[in-house]
Amino acid sequence: MNGKWEGATKIQLAREILGEAIDDLEGTPNLELALRVYGHQSPVTPTYQDCDDTKLEVEFGQDNFGRIKNFINRVEPKGTTPIARSLEAAAGDFPDKNARNIIILITDGLEACDQFPCEVAAKLKAKDINVTPFVVGLGIDLKYLNEFDCIGRFYEASTLQSFKKVMKSVILDALNNTTAQINLNDIHAKPTETNTTVFLYKAGTKELKYTFMHTMNFKNQPDTIVVIDPSIQYDMVVNTLPQVTVEGLKLYKGQHNILPADCPQGMLKVRIKGPTKTSNVKVRVSQKGKAVTLNVQDIDLIQRYIVGEYDLEILTLPRIYKKNVKITQSQHTYIDIPGSGLLDYRATKPIVGQLFLLNDQDETAEWVCDFAQDETMGKFYLQPGKYKVVYRWSESVSTDYTAQKSFTIKPGGNTTINL
């Protein structure tokens, strides 16, 4: 705790945050606090560490907030980290086994003595001692998180700001034993989907109550949420493409609640294969058979969609249409298109004109775009193929001045025509 952390020592910052937390708790009904400290009495030497250095410094009481703050403000970290022994001793500190007994363990290190916290947790459970600690780790390497898995719920505080948020979350969790997790289920009914914003509305209204970015915890399970009011029902909107809505969700007070939504997703990517003159292409995506635009994504961008079939309009010149594109669970669907070529046109006078794609199979021509009126030059990025331009000078007053010119576009190539 003497180590530097964001411009101060960890103990200095811990004093500040814990002081604020204790102030917030003062006045809470039916609440008693106590303070046990370890590693503060005997200094560690090259040949000795005192693994019994753990002590109940302030006993449980309803009016001891000031005593706890005063001790925190003057205690100095000196010794080792006997987490297991401290937990075992703390379980015996509670005066009433029938009360809801909570331990909040704050540490910047791992067990340093001869015992294992997991064994202590098992012993306490065997003795019917119902104590589940909240473990707040200050700057602990994430690879060690599993060492706290058997003790209780772990909160990782890697920054000062996250430490403040974690302490508020822990206290809310400790005071309110109603918790929830949002399960975004795949096609196998397993909660594997994540990284999506979730809105919770008061049921039947547009009154937004909570906004969460769905997160998996270090166990790769949906994270536990402790700030939801269980007194009302909710409509949950999951901001996938398309959105998924679940109505009338009810939370049960004093329990851990599961809020499920079926959100199986796969990935779509449209790619340009081969040489091209531009990769600045958009892709319009709609659900199969629906005219409404669901999303417009960039070429070469991976975007997640709910499992199903979609229609694509790739905004090249001319347009490329892909119907009934299948998105499957956790898989990438790739759509490949050829690269474009560049048409550069120039005229001696301003022109009006239109550009057409010629069909190799017959003599039909597909309109591609109009030329900018009254311009003498311009350029288009076109898909490979045979084209023709139909045009005349803008100042002409006779149809007889209609002219046309054919040309070919190759991927990554330049084509210049003079009109």
Selection from 66, 56, 60 nearest residue 34 by Cα: 60
Indicate if 145 and 24 belong to the same structural domain.
yes
Indicate if 171 and 71 belong to the same structural domain.
yes
- Spell out a b/e string for 137-147, using b for 16 or more CB atoms within 10 Å of the CB, else e: bbbbeeeebeb
* Phi, psi (degrees; rounded to nearest 5) at 193: -85, 150
Indicate if 237 and 352 belong to the same structural domain.
no
> Taking 90 as the threshold, does the pLDDT of residue 67 lie above it?
yes
The average pLDDT across 293-312 equals 97
Q: How far is CA 338 from CA 70, 182, 239, 311, 327, in A?
A: 72, 42, 32, 19, 22
Quick: pLDDT tens for 336-375. 999 999 999 999 999 999 999 999 887 799 999 999 988 8
Indicate if 317 and 385 belong to the same structural domain.
no
140 vs 265 pLDDT, higher one = 265
Question: Half-sphere exposure of residue 401, counting CA atoms within 13 Å on the CB side?
Answer: 13
Task: Flag the least confident range among 38-47, 137-146, 185-194.
Answer: 137-146
Alpha-carbon dihedral sign for residues 205, 209, 214, 219: negative
Indicate if 160 and 194 belong to the same structural domain.
no
Selection from 165, 154, 158 nearest residue 5 by Cα: 158
* CA–centroid distance for 251 within its chain: 24
Distance in angstroms (rounded) separating the CA atoms of residues 165 and 157: 9
Residue 111 confidence (pLDDT): 75
* Domain CATH code at residue 398: 2.60.40.1120
Residue 400 confidence (pLDDT): 93
Count: domains in the chain: 4
Q: Percent of the chain at pLDDT above 90? A: 58
What domain range is 142 assigned to? Answer: 4-175
Indicate if 214 and 306 belong to the same structural domain.
no
Alpha-carbon dihedral sign for residues 296, 302, 304, 310: positive
Indicate if 9 and 52 belong to the same structural domain.
yes
> Taking 80 as the threshold, does the pLDDT of residue 254 lie above it?
no
State whether residue 328 is helix, strand or coil.
coil
Quick: pLDDT tens for 83-139. 888 888 888 888 877 777 888 888 877 778 866 777 777 766 665 555 566 777 776
